[in-house]
Amino acid sequence: MAEGSIRKMKTENAGIVNYYLPVGDERIFMNELIGKRIKLLFLNEIYCIGCGRLTKRSFAQGYCYSCLLNSPETSECIIHPEKCMAHEGISRDMEWSRGHCLQDHVVYLADTTGLKVGVTRHSQIPTRWIDQGATRAVRVARTPNRYLAGQIEVGLKKFFADKTNWRNMLTNKRTAEINLPEEKKKAKGFLPEEFEQFFEEENEITLITYPVDLYPEKVKALSFDKTPEISGIIKGIKGQYLIFENDLVLNIRKHNGYKLSITF
């Protein structure tokens, strides 16, 4: 049994993805619980993952309203990298931006049972791909800051989707076979001339395998806001979702900061 506020699962790509759920000061190795029954009870307390204060409602996957408005982690450029202004010295917190926005960023193509383009900080590879439930990914470009990566992504979004179909991802439903090197070659052709210098020639493909015994046939999403007690046998984990029996799924990241009692 464990009790405390949870955070998004920590991951490591070790042949198959290993998942660790932070609960208070503990970490639960979730792979060991696949095939077993688990009970998660929401204790009706939510703590902001930014400032740690008790909050009645969570915003932006774990923040209180004040942090939503003021924290650098909830800046507009988190969702829209092309709007980042840190390279011009404009930020909610320049020290934070130097460690996050003014670092090398990667524009990538990922197979999440559908092709998508995205941006992430170089140090977040492959974590970002795992969190999205990608099974394969390839780097397209590498830039010295978030803004430039965002500009490239905006250009490529005219030709590639930029959202993951999370239901298809969780049911493992493929839309079509994807040739990542060929798609990357297409992406190079779409790059404006001023961004060609950032193109990554190497076609190294990262493969990601998830610990899933059984995929749901039709996804039924759970939420602690509607169902304070969730229990059942875990059939697998993909992205930041726990997959339960009877086609039920729980997005752990959505419940960042929720205080739970977990029995297994």
The verdict on 111 and 56 lying in the same domain is: no
Q: What is the model's pLDDT at position 177? A: 87
Q: Are residues 64 and 140 in the same domain?
A: no
Q: Are residues 85 and 53 in the same domain?
A: no
Both 185 and 217 in one domain: the answer is no
82 and 141 fall within a common domain: yes
Rounded mean pLDDT of 118-126? Answer: 98
Strands 10-14 and 229-238: unpaired
Region 238-260: mean pLDDT is: 98
**With 90 as the cut, is the pLDDT of residue 175 above it?**
no
How many C-beta atoms surround the C-beta of residue 196 within 10 A? 10
Predicted pLDDT at 34 = 98
Question: What's the mean pLDDT in 220-224?
Answer: 98
- In this structure, are 223 and 200 located in the same domain? no
Do 167 and 241 lie in one domain? The reply is no
Phi/psi at 93 (5° precision): -155, 100
Residues 79 and 202 in one domain: yes
pLDDT tens readout for residues 180-208:
999 999 999 999 899 999 999 999 999 99
Total domains, the chain: 2
Mean pLDDT computed over 86-102 = 98
Q: Supply the pLDDT for residue 33.
A: 98
What residues make up the domain containing 8? 2-68+212-263
Looking at residue 247, what is its pLDDT?
Answer: 97
Whether residues 36 and 136 share a domain: the answer is: no
Looking at the structure, do residues 47 and 144 belong to the same domain, yes or no? no
pLDDT exceeds 90 at position 176: no
Decide: residue 81, CB within 10 A, 0-12 exposed, 13-18 middle, 19+ buried: buried
Buried b (16+ CB within 10 A) or exposed e, 11-39: bebeeebbbbbbbeeeebebbebbeeebe
